[in-house]
């Protein structure tokens, strides 16, 4: 099986040759080349050639099965809206937004909306323009056999990264929920345009959207109000315009009754095809309650900190143990709890992928 066929088997609950691995690689692949982030991107520039090299080398050496075919970070899109971002110049730190976000108070909102009206996700932020170039290059190189997934955040998470400081948004959730509705919708509109641009550049598989506030920072009731409708809109758009399904990365413990109700709605009402959780959700719970009961596909999760810290033998034992808990293992693949941590050594990353491929040969050993 090639990588596309392997992922297709998971989606159809058939046995692949071995369990595919879906890492979310962001700055780790840059550090793995021995570069600092500040050598490949700045506030208003992005070296597409270097990033292409980093993506392709990462795929070739580590040999994972699905990827986001470019380097992206939390700070994409923010500078043209008036926020400041941080591109670290030392090893192992992720790029991100700062405490100066575009919408510091509600008074800033009208002028940010004006900027959004003139925003072209393909050209306004030079970093995003550069990232699209990388997608084109990666698609040309490996797109025939590898699933390449467009990625961005959705709902309140997108609003947090694009517009509001974290604490401000947390207060807004209880003090000005109608405004949060508006920001989450507008941020999701922006996200949908960015997903469209990634498909046009060469992404060829399921859309991968992230709701990182999940049940870590909000109640399931808040998730249902602010995020469920926006996730449904992304799923519908991706299906209608690109004939692809959508997978959701969601943080937090989904095993509680209320969180599971939210999860059920995400699958049944919003139409999410598959889930990518975090380490709060054990593999046997995922198999029984997500794959078997909800009938959707899902990733079992290795804690990213364990992959980063190793050693290799411990990583292998962890993977073996997890795979032993999922029965026949249909509809399941392996992922890290969030992104592959920036300082993760490539040999740990590869050991984790290799172990999944080794212990995840089908039929799985009980």
Partner 1 sequence: MGEFGPLTQAVIDGNGKKVIELVNAALAEKATPQSILSDHMIPGMIEVGKLMSEGEYFIPEVLKSAKAMNGALEILEPLLASGPREFAGYVIMGTVDGDIHDIGKNLVCMLLKGSGFEVKDLGVSVPMAKFIEAVNAKDGKIILGMSALITPTLDEMPKVIKAIEAEGLRSRVKIMVGGAPVTKEFSDSIGADGTAPDAPSAVTLAKNLLAA
Q: Which residues bind partner 1 (CB under 8 A)?
A: 26-27, 74, 86, 88, 92-94, 96-99, 166-167, 170-171, 173-175, 215-219, 222, 251, 256, 258-259, 278-279, 303-306, 308-309, 337-339, 341-343
- For the CB of residue 262, give the shortest distance to partner 1 in the complex, in Å: 12
Supply the minimum distance, in Å, between the C-beta of residue 235 and partner 1: 25
46: which residues sit within 8 A by CB, 6+ positions away?
40, 126, 127, 129, 130, 131
- Of the pair 44, 99, the CB lying nearest partner 1 is at 99
- Pick left, alpha or beta for residue 174 (phi over 0 → left; psi -120 to 50 → alpha; otherwise beta): alpha
Spatial distance between the Cα atoms of 202 and 24, rounded to a whole number of angstroms:
18
Residue holding tokens 């932020």? 125
Question: Does residue 21 contact residue 366 with C-beta atoms inside 8 Å?
Answer: no
Nearest CB to partner 1, comparing residues 218 and 330: 218
Of 104 and 170, nearer to partner 1 (C-beta) is 170
Closest by alpha carbon to 46, among 154, 101, 124? 124
Cβ(127)–Cβ(76) under 8 Å? yes
Of 215 and 227, nearer to partner 1 (C-beta) is 215
To partner 1, the closest distance from the beta carbon of 105 in angstroms equals 16
We find the least distance from the C-beta atom of residue 335 to partner 1, in angstroms, to be 13
Query: Minimal distance in Å, beta carbon 51 to partner 1?
Result: 18
Name which of 93 and 294 has its Cβ closer to partner 1.
Answer: 93
Nearer to partner 1, 173 or 248 (CB): 173
Closest separation between CB of residue 337 and partner 1, Å? 7
Going by C-beta distance under 8 Å and a sequence separation of 6 or more, which residues neighbour residue 254?
214, 215, 260, 262, 263, 277, 280, 281
> Cα separation of 62 and 68, whole Å?
14
CA 223/CA 271 separation, integer angstroms: 15
């Amino acid at each position: 099986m090639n990588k596309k066929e392997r992922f297709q088997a998971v989606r159809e609950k058939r046995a692949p040759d071995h369990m595919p691995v879906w890492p979310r690689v962001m700055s780790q692949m840059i550090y793995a080349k021995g570069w600092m982030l500040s050598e490949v991107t700045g506030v208003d520039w992005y070296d597409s050639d270097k990033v292409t090299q980093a993506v392709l080398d990462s795929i070739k050496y580590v040999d994972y099965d699905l990827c986001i075919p470019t380097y992206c970070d939390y700070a994409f899109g923010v500078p043209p809206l008036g926020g400041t971002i941080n591109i670290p110049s030392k090893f192992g730190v992720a790029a991100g937004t700062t405490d100066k976000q575009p919408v510091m108070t509600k008074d800033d909102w009208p002028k940010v909306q004006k900027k959004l009206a003139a925003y072209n996700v393909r050209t306004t932020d030079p970093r995003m323009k550069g990232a699209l170039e990388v997608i084109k290059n990666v698609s040309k190189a490996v797109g025939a056999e590898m699933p390449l997934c467009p990625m961005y955040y959705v709902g309140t998470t997108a609003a947090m990264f694009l517009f509001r400081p974290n604490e401000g948004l947390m207060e807004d959730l209880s003090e000005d929920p109608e405004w949060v509705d508006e920001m989450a919708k507008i941020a999701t509109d922006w996200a949908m345009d960015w997903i469209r641009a990634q498909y046009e550049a060469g992404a060829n598989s399921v859309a991968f959207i992230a709701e990182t506030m999940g049940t870590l920072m909000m109640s399931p009731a808040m998730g249902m109000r602010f995020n469920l409708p926006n996730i449904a809109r992304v799923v519908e758009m991706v299906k209608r315009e690109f004939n692809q399904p959508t997978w959701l990365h969601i943080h937090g413990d989904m095993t509680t009754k209320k969180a599971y109700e939210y999860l059920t709605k995400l699958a049944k009402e919003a139409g999410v095809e598959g889930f990518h959780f975090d380490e709060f959700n054990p593999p046997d719970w995922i198999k029984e309650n997500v794959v078997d009961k909800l009938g959707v596909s899902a990733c079992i999760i290795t804690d990213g900190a364990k992959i980063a810290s190793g050693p290799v033998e411990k990583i292998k034992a962890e993977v073996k143990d997890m795979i032993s808990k999922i029965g026949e293992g249909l509809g399941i693949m392996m992922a890290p709890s969030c992104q592959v941590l920036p300082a993760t050594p490539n040999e740990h990353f590869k050991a984790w992928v290799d172990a999944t491929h080794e212990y995840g040969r089908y039929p799985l050993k009980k």
